[in-house]
Every structure is written in structure tokens, then in C-alpha cells.
Amino acid sequence: MSTNRRDFLKSSFIGAGLLGTGLAACTNLDQKGQSASSAIQRTQLFNMSGYAAPKLETVRVGFVGLGNRGPGAVERFSHIEGVVIAGLCDKDPARVDNAQKILEKQGLPAAKGYSDSEDAWKAMVDSGEIDLLYICTPWALHTPMAVYAMENDVHAATEVPAALTVEEAWQLVETSERTKKHCMMLENCCYDFFELLTLNMARQGFFGEIIHGEGAYIHDLLNMNFNKETYSDMWRLRENLKNGNLYPTHGLGPICQIMDVNRGDQMEYLTSMQSADFMMAPLAEKLAAEDTFFTEFAGKTYRGNMNTTLIRTHKGRTIMVQHDVTSPRPYSRLHTVSGTKAYAQKYPSPERIATGHGWFGEDEMKALREQYTPEIVQVVGEMAREIGGHGGMDFMMDWRLVDCLRNGLPLDQDVYDAALWSVIAPLSRESIENRSSSVEVPDFTCGAWKTNAPVELTLKGGGTTGVISAKASVNQLGV
């Protein structure tokens, strides 16, 4: 552990008057004195799991980062009742103007624009005119922006991953606990239809005891990562100079919810292995020979094609997470659930469920969907499919976030999920660089996982206003 980390923790504890108190404490150890390590002693300032922030009658949202993901988020929020899009920020003024056109098309008032400097987003947070900062920027900005928002009395919602280092993950946790502001990572795959179905089935005991899960991000992005028009400053290509599973959360999030990770079970340790790079370095060399723009990317060592990370939990369950964004193969997030009574798998299509050697037939699958489709899908699913965003899961995620904030409900994904799911990237890198040695996974809940209640992705327990809002919006759209 770095000296800065020790000093930070020491000053935080002394400043908060927490040394010697009876609050929950935890120790996080890592193998061989590596980055997450050297016995971090930490006291939980406040348990954000199950925390319900005060209700917001209207959720005033400010968006930062209007390049790839941002405009779609603005579009989705324009359909949600009880929302005011109060701020739009990007360093490129043209992107702010394009986002304003989305509001104009929906008959909504223009938002205040922020684009006069690299730090314009801070002015949006400082304005006192937003309740939620919605972050769609390059990865390295996610933690600094989320922390700044929470420090200034604004909830934070950030695209994935929420943190790039162990230090950043702890910073998110400590800031959220101290400020009692939500920090949600926008893991949209937790709101996809089959993932929600299997979550509800697990809650109802259909799978029995969960034994093993698999998740992945297997997506051929080779050419896009080298497209100089797609990402400013080629930041995503630069991220691929790092080893490890760089993007673990899409496949991991739904499996963690099914296994009640952070809420009844917890990751204990992981080991990670990676193939060689067979494609990125050769492509960089080829492009550099054709275009001097790519000269700086030639002669570099890139992450391997396939990363496979294995995780064991305290209850003895196992999780496999894979990452491959360069090989020419079909898209897959795996989403495999294996229990003592049943098995489910989403990829390759079609979605399948079994209780033995044979898959259920079409009629049996229809009956399962009728029985186990959760309430959120029954209420919002049709509207989500109509508005879209990766088939509707993006809209479902955004609608549910607003529903929780307006009704004072705990979030489905809290800061501990954001930290834990994201930290697999640096921990997998550490394992790879130590010949796949096992690495302890920090317990960001400081032991509270043993008593935290499982996430309940339904509308029971206070979501009445949200239900009415959704139905009103559906009627307005004529869906």
C-alpha cells in the first residue's frame, strides 16, 4: 500500500473521529504485498446497502459526456416523467447543441449548456441546479467526477467501469458513505430481460442453491478501437495497453445479483489468465505504415485477445468472467447460471433453461416467462422495448433509477457493487502479472455483506408513484 494511501486513511479516520469507535471494521489483504494489500484497516462510516435517500419529487439531471453514450441517455430521460434535464455538458460545444435538439424534438425546454472549459462539468455540479450527475465520459474521468458530485451534495450515476484502480474503488465507497449520496454504476445488463427473468427465478428458488455463474464481454471491437473518429484522443485504445479483464461488469453484474454478492455472499479471491495478443499489435503496425497518425501505437504491447478470470466466493461458489474485444467471433455475455436444481444460459441464442440433460421446449419456456417475469418488466417492459437502448435494458435502468430517487427506495446497484464489479480489472491485471497467482478481493462492505438484504428488483415496497409515472408516460407515447 502506498504512503499516500496510508496517510489518506489515517487522516480520514482521525478527521471523522472514528478511531476506537464500535463501528464495523474490516481488513483487506492481498497476495505478496501487492496493490490492494498490506492490511488495509477500514471502518465503515455508514452502510449504503439498503440506504434510501430522501425522496425527490422531481429529479433534476445533468449529463456530462455527450459523445457516444450521452445522447442516447438524454433521449431516454426525455421520456421519463418526473425528470427535468437541467444541464448538458461536453468539451465540444457542438455536442451540447446536438443534445439540445433532442430536447427540442420532445417539446422540452432547453437545458443549461456547459462547454466553455475542460472543467465546465464542475460548474454544472456547483450550480445547485442538479440532483443527479449522469457521467458518460472516458473511463479515467468516472471516479473523479462521481466523487466531486457526491462531495457537492449531488448523487452520481456513472457509465462502466466506475473505477480503474483499487484506490479509486475505495475512494468511491468512502465518499458515498461519508456524504450519504448514491453512487450507482450504470450496469445496464442487469436490466436486460433474460437477466431479470433469471434473477426472479433465483429469488423464487427455481435454481436451488446457486453453484456457478459465468459472464463475459466478448465483442469484436478491433476496428472500432483503432477508429480515430470514434474515441477522442484514442483513449479506449490506450486502455488496451493494460493487461487484465478491462471491462468485467456487463457479464459479472447480473451474476453477482443472482448470487447475492455484497448481500449474503462475498468474493474471496480470484485468479486470472490471459492469452497472447494475436491481433492488436499487428493491426497497429499495419495502420502505422499507412497513416502516421498511428505511429505512436506501433511497437507497443497490447493486452491479449482472451482474458479468463475465475472468482471464488466465501460460500464456495465460483464465477468465470471472460473478456475478448479483438477476436472475430459472435457477441456474447454468456450469462450462465448453474444451480442444484436447474441451469440457464443466454448465449449463444436462443435463451435456454434446463433441469436435466435436455433443454426446455418452446411451450415450457413460455410458461416460465409467464410465471417468473418480474413486476418491473410487466410495468415498463413494453415501453422500454419501444424507446430502446440495447433492446430496452438501458431505458429500464434509467427509469428504475428515477423511480428509486423519486420514491426514496434503495438503489438496485449501490456503491459497493460499483466498486467491487469494477475492481476486477486491476485485480485481474495483478494476477496475470504474477503468473496467475491468486489475489484477495477487497470487501468493500467491511463485513456488512453477511447481513445486507438481497437486492429486490421489483416495484414492491414503495414504488407506487413510479408505476403511475410509467403508465402516464406510456399513455402519452401511445405505446
Domain borders along the chain are 59-187, 189-359+417-446
* CA distance readout (Å), 142 to 126, 158, 171: 17, 6, 12
CB 180 within 8 A of CB 285: no
Banded pLDDT at 9 (limits 50, 70, 90): very low
Tens digits of per-residue pLDDT, 169-211?
999 999 999 999 999 999 999 999 999 999 999 999 999 999 9
Q: Find all residues with CB under 8 Å of 361, minimum gap 6, and list them.
A: none
State percent of the chain over pLDDT 70: 87
Tens digits of per-residue pLDDT, 385-436?
999 889 999 999 999 999 999 999 999 999 999 999 999 999 999 999 999 9
Indicate if the pLDDT at residue 13 is higher than 70.
Answer: no
189-359+417-446 CATH:
3.30.360.10
* pLDDT at residue 313, as a whole number: 98
Would you say how long the chain is, in residues?
Answer: 479
Q: Give residue 162's identity as a one-letter amino acid code.
A: A
Indicate if the pLDDT at residue 241 is higher than 70.
Answer: yes
Which of 87, 77, 68 is closest to 138 using CA atoms?
Answer: 68
Q: Give residue 313's identity as a one-letter amino acid code.
A: T
Indicate if the pLDDT at residue 53 is higher than 50.
Answer: yes
Mean pLDDT over residues 245-272, rounded?
98
CATH fold label, 59-187: Rossmann fold (3.40.50)
Q: Three-state DSSP class for 304?
A: coil
Q: Give residue 205's identity as a one-letter amino acid code.
A: G
* pLDDT at residue 463, as a whole number: 45
* pLDDT at residue 286, as a whole number: 98
For 419-428, give one letter per residue: b (16+ CB within 10 A) or e: bbbbbbbbbb
* pLDDT at residue 455, as a whole number: 85
Helix (H) or strand (E) holding 310: strand 307-313
CB 124 within 8 A of CB 135: no
59-187 and 189-359+417-446 share one fold: no
More confident residue, 213 or 16: 213
Banded pLDDT at 37 (limits 50, 70, 90): very low
* pLDDT at residue 17, as a whole number: 37
* pLDDT at residue 474, as a whole number: 35
Mean pLDDT over residues 376-382, rounded?
94
Mean pLDDT over residues 200-228, rounded?
97
Q: Three-state DSSP class for 60?
A: strand
Average pLDDT, the chain: 89
Grid cell 493486452 in the structure block, residue: 303
Q: Give residue 24's identity as a one-letter amino acid code.
A: A
Enter the pTM of the model.
0.90
* pLDDT at residue 465, as a whole number: 38
* CA distance readout (Å), 207 to 56, 198, 340, 346, 354: 37, 9, 6, 15, 10
Set of cell numbers at residue 312: 471464488
Which of 439, 210, 440 is closest to 316 using CA atoms?
Answer: 210
